Structure 1
Amino acid sequence: MERFCNVSELPRDVWVAIAIKVATTSIEDLCRFRMTCCVARDVGDDDNVLRMVAIPPPHQLNWVWIRDPIRRRFFERCIEIGHPELLFRKALRELYIRRNHAVGWQMLQNAARNGLDAAKYALSMELLLRRDDRDAKKEGLELFRALEAGNLLPACYSSCFAVLTISWPDEVQMPAKGEEHTICDSTRCMTRGHMGLLYDYRRRAAERGSIHGVRGVNHIRCIRCRADYEVELQGEEMYRPTGPANLPHDVWTLIAGRTAAQSVRDLCSLRMSCTAACNAGDEDFVYRCVNIPIWDQRWWSVSPMHHPGRNFLARCRQSGHVEVLFRYTVSDLFLGGCRFAGMETMHVVAAQGHSAAQYIVAMMLMLRDDAESKNKGLQTFRWLEVAGALTKCKLVFRGVVQGTWRHLRRVPRLNEENQVCSSHACPTRGNMGAIYRHQRYGRGWDVNDGDGGAGHIPCVHCRADYELILFVHLFD
């Protein structure tokens, strides 16, 4: 009889392979794995497993891990056994922040020997900066050539930039590069000594938003000149201050958009923090991301005397905020006299995926007399019915309409003779009004679609007629 193997009876090599697979996903998964059983806890502390732990990027690393003593010991243990990524980060810190060159150089070499591409990149830059050591320059050029052949230079540069400028801003001290120091020593090279000028041209073009600022130096044939340009790029960009005020406007806009998606109060607090945040918070993209609670009537019943609130909603409408546009369009359709303009705007809002706007468009089209409009509205109604979004759409629309004055509403009229269902063979044609009255006055009316409404009727045209009756009575 076949005997099933117990998990604890697996060989240690299998356990180590499983732990390595888990560790390469995230630190949290490794911690959960170690809490499963005694064998997993023992294997999770193996050097081979800790050497393969996936370390998050510096901008995603939770600093609580570093402050906590237990988590700090975990990182120290990973560094002791030679984790390449952590060795690389600590090496850059020792080299360019603490100026402890001997310790940092040893750590950087260990990380490069373990196969980390970013460590090889930093090591090549350090070797290329040595003026008198020709062997070091040759070794650094070989590393640079290998990374360039694998198209790894942008990723390696980004890793170094993230470690030096995100983790410890305004503290980086890059090694000085002499003005006459060049890696290319050929007197016949046409581009020798011009990499500094090329870098200045690229940087100024990028600041102006020109397309010439994004081109590299791949068109230069001399690999030594390309290495000179990379050294120039690393030295200048890493040394540049990276405080919040020096962030690009696009980055500030993304930060403001993410903040606006949380709450309006957070957006106002961010805009009051500094001038850059105030300017970025006035972009249309930020106003389109504002999280306005749709169920809070206080937002939509702002007094005309409250100018800041009115101006804020008007600015959101101008930027194209979907929810604000929907509210204003409902007012134009059913409160004001701009029926044609309101319908056009409602089509625009519906095209952006707003389900309540799609519901209103479907109802208004099916209320028309021409068959083409009814068919278009029926298609939208059928899609909303399949998606199960009718109840939510009616609740949103009723919440908007119920917050207005009744004597100002322009209630759409329902022509009982002009029905969506035109089939004389349909047994339920013309009976939707009776079903509605029975549901409302007989057993209690509910907005819910599946609560004894017309969901049991097989004819989709009759269900559309029933939905039109519900839509008209939402104004009651």
Structure 2
Amino acid sequence: MAGSSQKDRKKVDVSIQHECPLNLLPREIWSMIATMVASNLIEDLFNMQMTCKVFLGAASSDAVYKHATMSYKPLVHFLVYLDRPERRFLDRCVEVGNVDAILRQGFMEYFRFGRCDKGMELFARASTEGSVEACYLCATLLLCDHEDEEEVQTGVQMMEVIRISGQLESCSKFFRDIFNDFMVFFKMFASE
């Protein structure tokens, strides 16, 4: 009997010695760190998730996907690689209401797949959530539809709101950059 109590004591000592020091910080702190990582580079978030169970749990939380920014990643990157981890990352971000992701998904629906109604719905959703770029794109597309006078008028009103906010030039630059990325993309495929 004396031998069995020593075995039990050893088991307890081993589990205490191997307690993960990462568990000393609350999960919320690790989630905040993971959000910052995701905002810098998606690949770093994937690497963080593969490191350990603590990081996997923290980096997989909805808060991380809701607040991650994707502006450093060219939009065309998401349009081309539908089967890559970035695409699944974008889908998850849209699910939890990430405004950057909703804008990118709307762009893909409208321009890549030709589902204009779905694209406009996503642009309107992102615009409602505070994306000035989505509002600008929505207004521009409404202004291009010369057949529906009511939509053109809505587009004019939206563009006026953006102009008054002082963000018209930054929105124009955002979309010039996107279309420059598209030109590079098309030249790349044309040369193959």
TM-score (norm 2): 0.68
Do structure 1's residue 397 and structure 2's residue 157 form an aligned pair?
Answer: no
In structure 2, C-alpha distance between the alignment counterparts of 1:350 and 1:255, rounded to whole Å: 27
Do structure 1's residue 249 and structure 2's residue 1 form an aligned pair?
Answer: no
Do structure 1's residue 316 and structure 2's residue 110 form an aligned pair?
Answer: no
More helix by share: 2
Q: 1:302 to 1:312 in 2, by over 3 A?
A: farther
What secondary structure does 1:340 align onto?
helix
Cα displacement string for residues 6-44 of structure 1 (whole angstroms, at most 9, x for unaligned residues): xxxxxxxxxxxxxxxxxxxxxxxxxxxxxxxxxxxxxxx
Tell whether the 8 Å contact from 1:252 to 1:277 is kept in structure 2 after alignment: yes
Cα displacement string for residues 250-273 of structure 1 (whole angstroms, at most 9, x for unaligned residues): 333223223323333443343234
Q: Which amino acid aligns with 2:118?
A: A
Whichever of the two has the greater Rg, that structure is 1
What secondary structure does 1:291 align onto?
coil
Task: State the shift of 1:246 in Å.
Answer: 4.2
Q: 1:331 to 1:266 in 2, by over 3 A?
A: closer
**Matched residue, 1:361:** 138
**Matched residue, 2:127:** 350
Within 5 Å, which residues of 2 pair with 1:64-83?
none
Within 5 Å, which residues of 2 pair with 1:207-286?
243-286=21-64
In structure 2, C-alpha distance between the alignment counterparts of 1:380 and 1:350, rounded to whole Å: 10
Task: State the shift of 1:342 in Å.
Answer: 1.3
In structure 2, C-alpha distance between the alignment counterparts of 1:362 and 1:309, rounded to whole Å: 28
Structure 1 unaligned segments of length 5 or more: list them.
1-240, 406-476
Structure 2 unaligned segments of length 5 or more: list them.
1-18, 184-192
Do structure 1's residue 383 and structure 2's residue 161 form an aligned pair?
Answer: yes
In structure 1, C-alpha distance between the alignment counterparts of 2:71 and 2:130, rounded to whole Å: 18
Task: State the shift of 1:296 in Å.
Answer: 3.5
What secondary structure does 1:261 align onto?
helix
In structure 2, C-alpha distance between the alignment counterparts of 1:255 and 1:383, rounded to whole Å: 35
How large is the Cα RMSD of the aligned pairs? Answer: 3.1
In structure 2, C-alpha distance between the alignment counterparts of 1:247 and 1:382, rounded to whole Å: 48
What secondary structure does 1:272 align onto?
helix
Task: State the shift of 1:329 in Å.
Answer: 0.9
Tell whether the 8 Å contact from 2:102 to 2:126 is kept in structure 1 after alignment: yes
Q: 1:270 to 1:336 in 2, by over 3 A?
A: closer
In structure 1, C-alpha distance between the alignment counterparts of 2:175 and 2:36, rounded to whole Å: 27
**Matched residue, 1:421:** none
Within 5 Å, which residues of 2 pair with 1:57-206?
none
Point out which structure has higher relative CO (alpha carbons under 8 A, 6+ apart): 2
What secondary structure does 2:160 align onto?
helix
Tell whether the 8 Å contact from 2:30 to 2:58 is kept in structure 1 after alignment: yes
Q: Which amino acid aligns with 1:289?
A: H
| Aligned sequence identity (%) | 26
In structure 1, C-alpha distance between the alignment counterparts of 2:111 and 2:44, rounded to whole Å: 34
Cα displacement string for residues 325-372 of structure 1 (whole angstroms, at most 9, x for unaligned residues): 212212222332311111111100111221111112222333354554
Tell whether the 8 Å contact from 2:123 to 2:134 is kept in structure 1 after alignment: yes
Do structure 1's residue 332 and structure 2's residue 109 form an aligned pair?
Answer: yes
Equivalent pairs counted in the alignment come to 165
In structure 2, C-alpha distance between the alignment counterparts of 1:382 and 1:284, rounded to whole Å: 35
Q: 1:291 to 1:394 in 2, by over 3 A?
A: same
What secondary structure does 2:40 align onto?
coil
Task: State the shift of 1:395 in Å.
Answer: 2.6
Cα displacement string for residues 291-337 of structure 1 (whole angstroms, at most 9, x for unaligned residues): 32446367335545x63333233333333332232122122223323
Cα displacement string for residues 230-263 of structure 1 (whole angstroms, at most 9, x for unaligned residues): xxxxxxxxxxx99431444333322322332333
Tell whether the 8 Å contact from 1:368 to 1:374 is kept in structure 2 after alignment: yes
In structure 2, C-alpha distance between the alignment counterparts of 1:322 and 1:381, rounded to whole Å: 19
In structure 2, C-alpha distance between the alignment counterparts of 1:402 and 1:360, rounded to whole Å: 16
Tell whether the 8 Å contact from 1:326 to 1:346 is kept in structure 2 after alignment: yes
Tell whether the 8 Å contact from 2:142 to 2:155 is kept in structure 1 after alignment: yes
In structure 1, C-alpha distance between the alignment counterparts of 2:50 and 2:109, rounded to whole Å: 35
Q: 1:331 to 1:303 in 2, by over 3 A?
A: closer
Q: 1:368 to 1:249 in 2, by over 3 A?
A: farther
Tell whether the 8 Å contact from 1:264 to 1:291 is kept in structure 2 after alignment: no
**Matched residue, 1:288:** 66
What secondary structure does 1:292 align onto?
coil
In structure 2, C-alpha distance between the alignment counterparts of 1:400 and 1:356, rounded to whole Å: 11
In structure 2, C-alpha distance between the alignment counterparts of 1:302 and 1:335, rounded to whole Å: 9
